[in-house]
């Protein structure tokens, strides 16, 4: 029987390599990757997943060529603007985590629009990590904590200062393209998350590949540090 995680997190890796192997510019891989993201979002909704977090743009991605970064944000803005009405109709909520002080104003405008338009949707929450880094999130939380005046704190209280406040920790983390590392993604939140590493590039990660990950997850016995 297929066990459905309540929360799935995904490191969408391999867009550039997918394009390179086909003699295409890197942005072509990103365009194809967006199609797969849409397919996975709708598949998760169909399967009954409650939360899906996608690693969209990391704090380290600013090191990429300026032309690629510009093209990425243009793709991000255009796609969201086009798809928000459909996502709202499908009852899918959009939420964004990460820093907002370095993003283009046009990107922030689209993000605000997407969150406002879908805020009352309840079928599936899709969380897009934009200018996000796990260490950066923890540092930002510590600074909020210092400003709060609290002298002593528990794990539960600290979690209230993090980006995913109110959202359950991921049950399953999927990374594509054969890489086996977390790359500064959700460092606090994945302490007891199950990992699944797929050999396929993200543009080839179809609904069928998602099912493979869920089949593997269904065979896991989660102990959370306890002896069962």
- State residue 224's pLDDT score: 72
Residue 42 placed within a domain: yes
194 is in an annotated binding site: yes
Q: With a cut of 80, say whether residue 225 has pLDDT above it.
A: no
Q: What is the rounded average pLDDT of the residues 102-125?
A: 98
Distance CA 202, CA 89 (A): 26
Residue 154 in domain: yes
pTM equals: 0.96
Residue 19 inside a domain? The answer is yes
Cα 120 from Cα 101, distance rounded (Å): 26
**Does any domain span residue 163?**
yes
Q: Say how far apart CA 96 and CA 100 lie, in whole Å.
A: 9
Bridge-based pairing of strands 124-132 and 51-58 is parallel
For residue 78, indicate whether it is catalytic: no
103 within some domain: no
Return the beta strands (E) in the chain as ranges: 7-11, 51-58, 92-97, 124-132, 172-175, 194-197
Does the structure show a pLDDT above 70 at 24? yes
Number of folded domains that form the chain: 1
For position 212, which CATH number holds? Answer: 3.40.1180.10
Is 112 part of a structural domain of the chain? no
Q: Provide the domain limits for residue 175.
A: 7-74+129-218
8 Å CB contact between 214 and 50:
no
pLDDT value of residue 223: 74
* pLDDT tops 80 at residue 228: no
* Cα torsion through 87, 137, 170, 193, rounded to 10: 150
Question: For position 46, what pLDDT does the model report?
Answer: 98
Q: What is the pLDDT of residues 128-183, one digit of tens each?
A: 999 999 999 999 999 998 888 888 889 999 999 999 999 999 999 999 999 999 99
User: In this structure, is residue 120 part of a structural domain?
Assistant: no
Residue 150's pLDDT is 82
Confirm or deny that 193 is annotated as ligand binding.
no
Evaluate whether residue 102 is within a structural domain. no
Q: Is 22 annotated as a binding residue?
A: no
Give the single-character DSSP code of 62.
G
């Amino acid at each position: 029987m297929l066990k459905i995680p309540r929360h799935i997190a995904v490191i969408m890796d391999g867009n550039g390599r997918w394009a390179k192997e086909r003699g295409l510019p890197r942005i072509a891989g990103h365009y194809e990757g967006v199609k797969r993201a849409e397919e996975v979002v709708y598949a998760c909704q169909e399967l009954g997943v409650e939360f899906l977090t996608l690693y969209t743009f990391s704090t380290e991605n600013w090191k990429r060529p300026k032309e690629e970064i510009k093209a990425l944000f243009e793709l991000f803005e255009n796609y969201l603007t086009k798809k928000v009405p459909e996502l709202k109709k499908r009852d899918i909520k959009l939420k964004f985590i990460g820093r907002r002080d370095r993003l283009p104003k046009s990107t922030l405008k689209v993000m605000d629009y997407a969150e406002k338009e879908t805020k009352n949707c309840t079928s599936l929450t899709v969380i897009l990590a934009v200018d996000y880094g796990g260490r950066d999130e923890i540092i930002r939380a510590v600074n909020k904590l210092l400003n709060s005046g609290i002298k002593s704190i528990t794990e539960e209280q600290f979690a209230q200062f993090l980006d995913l406040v109110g959202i359950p920790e991921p049950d399953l983390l999927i990374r594509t393209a054969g890489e086996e590392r977390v790359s500064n993604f959700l460092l606090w939140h994945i302490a007891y998350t199950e990992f699944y590493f797929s050999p396929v590039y993200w543009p080839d990660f179809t609904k069928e590949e998602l099912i493979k990950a869920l089949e593997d997850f269904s065979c896991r016995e989660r102990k959370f540090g306890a002896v069962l």
